[in-house]
Structure 1
């Protein structure tokens, strides 16, 4: 599903959209990969800037956000392709995905055992989606136009349970590079780097990965100008810039701040900021995410949030041991396992020289404020 347009509050970035489109048109590469933390305006740009530019450039567009169907990205991607290539067949495709394949019953006698009956389901939704992917590609081969496939939150494809489908997708895209371009986007830098940089991964070396350019002063000034157009209470640019920094330069949170200021102008800019910070950095989602971590992982995450270095050194291992109620330092291997778990869950990203940072700055701020 494509996110709805944000109408007059959308900050357009046509030059950036044209730059991405031009790189795909060169023909030297059929894919690009972008990463940025969640809430940084990536999806809005893809839907409201890049896709219109691609359509104006002669492409059809298929957009899918794998986060919306994380448990079954194959289905989400296949349906997006069918919607773009052959919209009239969409209903039939969806019906087939929800129709169980016939079952067979096999029974037999086993040595030392009574007669047993075994019932097997011939295929599941993933297998059906894999078959329908090939059908979608066959439809594309008859399709007149070139197509850009935009895969948002693409790191979901790197999960082990999605490996078979990812290999099938890679093979299908490989032989259609001349007319089928792909823009991968995601919020987990670590997972995307593994996805494109590890030889064992289906999409190894398949797309250049780069950071998505983040919004800054121009975005804030744009929002301030919009407030001045509709409100009797202009938002001072210095106050807005201060709020943007206080909200970790996160566009989604800044939009919430502007909305609060417009609906409660007599609270002033500081009141709007205080309200937004309390809402953004005390989210129940963060508490659930925290409680799902093992105690050792929580301790290390709190240290990372406070920029602790040398996480496998004696001092940190002693601290972890003490907080776990152990009278001696935990082994270095235990710290390594904990860090690996946090990386695999896309909670932290490994930086240069063994340093780590929390991927979601809002979550990092929430962690810092825990006891």
Structure 2
């Protein structure tokens, strides 16, 4: 497994004057949440996510060698039009990753990006956006160092994406991705499986996953498309002095342990317990921080209660999870899709802003176009 030092290149063996690459990278939805981080985008606890398929960012990177190499030089387009308010975030990203990609000031870049999901739909695009950009930069580095291995390419891409947006490291490769180092297990001989995960990048879940989770579905109910009242960055920082932080971090490790077994045995009942508990715990941390805040909306709670009622009455294994916002991800196996989608149309769409929802499912990760 690579270390930070491994990602600082010693020399390049080739040159390239200009060209372009294009990658798509998906969003992802965490099952075990990470909330709270240390310096340099290091997570306070491990997380595991489903990689999505349809909700993705497509980014084209054009590059051209330039004479003045004293600063970063780039144009940023969103859906073909200049997007000045995105530029500070890209500038900060370039500053963070320059030590790992020392060629960045040698080129002028044109970054042209678009999302397959509606802009301002309330779906976080930083994960997919930063992952897609990292893939493009790694494609350029591979031109400069053709000897690069595939493992190095993908792990460094995930490492770079993390420096742009923590959860972006889970959008690079794999259907189920783990990010964050596992704790040492002492005297727990029955815990026979470890993932070999890292704080530095996401890793593909290394074990077989039960048929129950193949093509798992995620229908995203767009409850509120407005800007969050508290950014995720601020929310993460509030975990530093949180009265329940240490117990929460321990709980995340425990739930990751449980999911390792659940993915193997296919127990959907236990899966639902872990996933819904994680979602509610995430929001409980927000409500018990200082200052405290609530990102759920009344319609979020209406949807949760309707899902519980439907599951209790039908025994169909449908559940919810939440990101740091009001929207609800409805998760369910592919073999109950027809019944769950009918339930969503009949009972849940009324709680969505303008009746909007997006149907998605597990995907594979970033793809070169």
Question: Which interval holds the TM-score relative to the shorter structure?
Answer: under 0.3
Structure-1-length-normalised TM-score? 0.25
Q: Greater share of helix residues, 1 or 2?
A: 1
Larger gyration radius, structure 1 or structure 2: 1
TM-score by length of 2: 0.25
Structure with the larger strand share: 2
- Kindly indicate whether structure 1 or structure 2 has the higher relative contact order, using CA contacts under 8 Å at least 6 residues apart: 2
